[in-house]
Structure 1
Amino acid sequence: MTMPLPRYEQVKRHIMDGIEGGSYVAGDKLPSENELVRALGVSRMTVNRALRELTEDGHIVRRAGMGSFVADRRMRGHAADILSIRDELAARGELWSANVLALEARPMPKEVAAEFGAKAGEQAYYLLVLHRGDDTPMELEERWVNPGIAPELLAQDFTSRTPTDYLLAVAPLLRAEHVVRAVAADARDAKLLEIERGSPCLEIGRRTWTGERVASYARLLYPGDRYELTARFSPVGAANNT
């Protein structure tokens, strides 16, 4: 015998059916709490819980005084778009391939745990992937992922799909933070990227959020002579057309 869903789960399912069925698309305003109470015959407390959990899971965005809106599953960062290395290489006419060097659950070291607002030693998914363009090493991706955001991550084949593509598909990324700096390649990174130890590299530290939770923290390393970072900026006060 199948037990009926709790009322708040029924409200969540009603809203998600509308989003997944195309009745609501990214940016659309959802019915107000009062409208959902009347339409579904549930309490305001039940609707509030449903909307809160959908917000925490990153499916909707709630704006004070304005209402609830469908989240955009593919976000854009301030300094650069969140793009897959595969797409970047394709734009240059290069064929992407990847070597998965690590894909496992690991306790987070102190500095990584701090990025997640967690305690050192808590478990997260860890992956290390070397991305190649026309068989030349182009990007070393070292990433930690919140297991609650992508519970099936360890079962994925990242030689056929990039981690970025997978995460964009399963987790609505609403916000990102990029820290860009110049670094010298250490012995491990130099060997993997097939460059001399101490060679200049571009390092991007990227933290992303799904809803109100940190989804992943990645260290992306590029040989300095094989990669450039570009960004578009609008004049101060210009309308945002993205």
Structure 2
Amino acid sequence: MMDTRPDAVKLDGAGPVYDQIRRAIRDLVVSGQWPPGTSVPPEHALMEQLGASRMTVHRALVQLAREGLIVRRRRSGTIVASPPASHAMLDILSIPQEVEKLGQAYAYEILSRCDGKPAPDIAERFGLKRSEKVTHLVVLHRAGGKPHVLEERVIHLAAVPAVATEDFARVPPGDWLLQHSLWSQAEHAISAVGAQSEEAALLDIAIGEPCLLVERRTWNQDRPVTAVRLLYPGPRHRFVGRFGPYGQV
């Protein structure tokens, strides 16, 4: 049975009290005794139990928040943070698979779709010619019922004509393309951006909150296949690459 009472926080007597508190709570989180979403005892309860000052307890909790182990919310209190999702930096990402690896239920919703010649802003955003015919999609992916990543994608109809009759009701566009198209080259670009108002509303984050933007293009020989922009809420994700002297391991 999970014990989230203040007396579950045991000090070891080594070093400054704030660091003892930090280590004690960290160990409860890392060991899994306090899983993601667990309510952390409030400052006043920890003060009373541990005989520590408010400043000392506050300092420990602030440090834990900086380390990404807890999330502090003014109205709803402090909870144990969910671990950030890890992504292989140079892989073609299957979003359903990355959500499944987190042990969460996956769902997606096609927010909009437009087939034909791209609008001027879409052409500029994806570097398209106005004469090209594409399918432009906006998709919201969810993990455990919460927004996971916002996807904006164009698919070149000349390269993948079958997309014209696909409604993506059963398989999201990225996974459908992995099953129904060929690619020989891919290009990744990763940058940090602040969430714009519409993006923030869809991802359920604050306007301007840091996000990771993954932009990817694929080609089959010299023919473009797809271009996608994946916007991830920054604190929930990290990207990982492992390399050897001759490339990716």
Q: TM-score range by the shorter chain?
A: 0.5 to 0.7
- The answer (yes or no) to whether the contact 1:127–1:142 under 8 Å persists in 2 is yes
1:122 corresponds, among 119, 126, 132, to 132
- The answer (yes or no) to whether the contact 1:102–1:127 under 8 Å persists in 2 is yes
Corresponding residue for residue 198 of structure 1:
208
TM-score by length of 1: 0.61
- The answer (yes or no) to whether the contact 2:136–2:154 under 8 Å persists in 1 is yes
TM-score by length of 2: 0.59
Matching residue's letter, 1:150:
V
Q: Which runs of 5+ in 1 are unaligned?
A: 1-77
Q: Measure, in 2, the Cα distance between the counterparts of 1:203 and 1:120.
A: 24
Corresponding residue for residue 173 of structure 1:
183
Distance 1:205 1:241, change over 3 A: closer
Corresponding residue for residue 221 of structure 1:
231
1:149 corresponds, among 156, 159, 166, to 159
How much does 1:178 deviate?
0.6
Q: Could you tell me the percent identity over the aligned residues?
A: 36
1:99 corresponds, among 104, 109, 114, to 109
Corresponding residue for residue 86 of structure 1:
96
How much does 1:160 deviate?
2.4
Q: Measure, in 2, the Cα distance between the counterparts of 1:160 and 1:200.
A: 31
Q: Structure 1 residue 189 and structure 2 residue 219: aligned?
A: no
Corresponding residue for residue 46 of structure 2:
none
Q: Which runs of 5+ in 2 are unaligned?
A: 1-87
- The answer (yes or no) to whether the contact 2:139–2:151 under 8 Å persists in 1 is yes
How much does 1:155 deviate?
3.3
Corresponding residue for residue 161 of structure 1:
171
- How many residues are aligned here? 162
Larger Rg: 2
Q: Measure, in 1, the Cα distance between the counterparts of 2:121 and 2:224.
A: 14
How much does 1:157 deviate?
4.0
Distance 1:208 1:111, change over 3 A: farther
Distance 1:182 1:131, change over 3 A: same
Q: Measure, in 1, the Cα distance between the counterparts of 2:248 and 2:206.
A: 43
- Deviating above 4 A after TM superposition, structure 1's stretches of 4 or more consecutive aligned residues are 109-118
Matching residue's letter, 1:120:
R
Q: What is the CA deviation profile of residues 93-150 of structure 1, one whole-angstrom value per residue up to 9, with x for unaligned ones?
A: 1111001111221432557547877522533110000000011101100001100222
Q: Measure, in 2, the Cα distance between the counterparts of 1:92 and 1:121.
A: 41
Q: Which has the higher contact order (CA 8 A, sep 6+)?
A: 1
- The answer (yes or no) to whether the contact 2:89–2:239 under 8 Å persists in 1 is no
1:139 corresponds, among 114, 135, 149, to 149
